Amino acid sequence: MQKELFIENARKINNNRMNIKILLLTGLSLFLMASSCKKDDEGGGTIKIRDRVKQYNEEEKDSIENFMKTHFYYIDNQYNVKIASLGSSSTHTSIWDDPGLVTLQVKDPVVDSLVYDLYYIPFRTGDNKPIQKMDNVLVAYQGLLLNLEIFDERIDVMPVWIDLNSRTLIQAWKEVFPHFKDGTYTDNGDGTFTFSDYGSGMLITPSGLAYYDLAQHKIPAYSPLVFIFKSFLADDDIDNDTVKNTDEDVNQNGNALDDDTDGDGTYNIYDNDDDGDGVLTKDEDANGDGDPTNDDTDGDGTPDYLDADTH
Ligand SMILES: [Ca+2]
Ligand SMILES: [Ca+2]
Ligand SMILES: [Ca+2]
Ligand SMILES: [Ca+2]
């Protein structure tokens, strides 16, 4: 019960945050649309978005590699990480030469032929359950530009839930987090929690898998980003209906935000009565094995919890 309360409170924080983010993005998009309607009669006021292939191959690829070759990190026993510049006589190992460095090849979401190198280093992958790509993850993080300026931060005692399904979440996070696990926690009894065995890592992403041309507060357009993060907990059943997040993706196309069986505007992954028949999904478990996905009372091929005729 305590965990649920805690998760609920943390969700509220997250929801407020996401609302702000969505508003910001909407505002920016409107601005761009308004600006692109302006034609050249005023002497070239039109905003031209840079070519994505050129931006990566000619601008960002080298600057990201250079950053990794000229910087190193150090880490304490709480997995707090600092990045610093390598001096010419330094004996530290650069990020580029770190034996733990992993490179993911990730397709650009817009240009099919463009493939990015997305880098991450697991300082510790985590000891509990693997994070899945549709989970809600409780994280602490620090976001930096390549000049080491911090543009955003959530410290350990103020972690935030990040929904990996969110359309406003940058692609780099969606790609990297499923390579980590979550941890465990103890309730200190005073409203605080202590996390152990959680995942901890760093990722370095080109702007094409982050905000690209959409400047954010403290993030200029076309900025590669660095994140240092901890994955404390992963919630694999966001709506608590006993159907796992990955099973709420009914058409199994990898996107949970296009499945709304009862058409009530709430996606199955957030809907605790998926077929809208007034019986909670968790109670449409005829054989009582704790899994509503394997109960099909009328034998029509549709499980009861997705079948408004049956419960
Ligand atoms: Ca669920
Ligand atoms: Ca629904
Ligand atoms: Ca559901
Ligand atoms: Ca139902």
pLDDT per residue over 182-193, tens digit each?
Answer: 999 999 999 888
**Ligand 1 centroid, distance to 110 Cα (angstroms):** 30
**Ligand 2 centroid, distance to 11 Cα (angstroms):** 20
Owner of token pair 């910001």: 24
pLDDT tens-digit series, residues 54-90: 999 999 999 999 999 999 999 999 999 999 999 887 8
Give the strand pairing for 225-235 and 199-205.
antiparallel
Domain with residues 50-235, CATH architecture: Roll (3.10)
- Rounded Cα–Cα distance for residues 122 and 26 (Å): 34
Range 244-267 average pLDDT? 97
Listed by start position, the domains of the chain span: 50-235, 239-311
pLDDT tens-digit series, residues 22-35: 333 333 333 333 33
Which is nearest to 268 in space by CA: 257, 252, 277?
Answer: 257
**Ligand 2 centroid, distance to 260 Cα (angstroms):** 4
pLDDT at 45: 61
Instruction: Indicate if the pLDDT at residue 252 is higher than 80.
Output: yes
CB 52 within 8 A of CB 198: no
Mean pLDDT estimate for the chain = 88
Instruction: Indicate if the pLDDT at residue 44 is higher than 70.
Output: no
**Is the whole-model pTM more than 0.75?**
yes
**Ligand 1 centroid, distance to 270 Cα (angstroms):** 7
pLDDT at 121: 98
- Rounded Cα–Cα distance for residues 197 and 219 (Å): 32
pLDDT at 46: 67
**Ligand 1 centroid, distance to 273 Cα (angstroms):** 10
Number of H helices and number of E strands within the chain? Answer: 4, 11
Number of Cβ within a 10 Å radius of residue 148: 13
**Ligand 4 centroid, distance to 302 Cα (angstroms):** 12
Torsion of CA 180, 186, 188, 192, to 10 degrees: 20
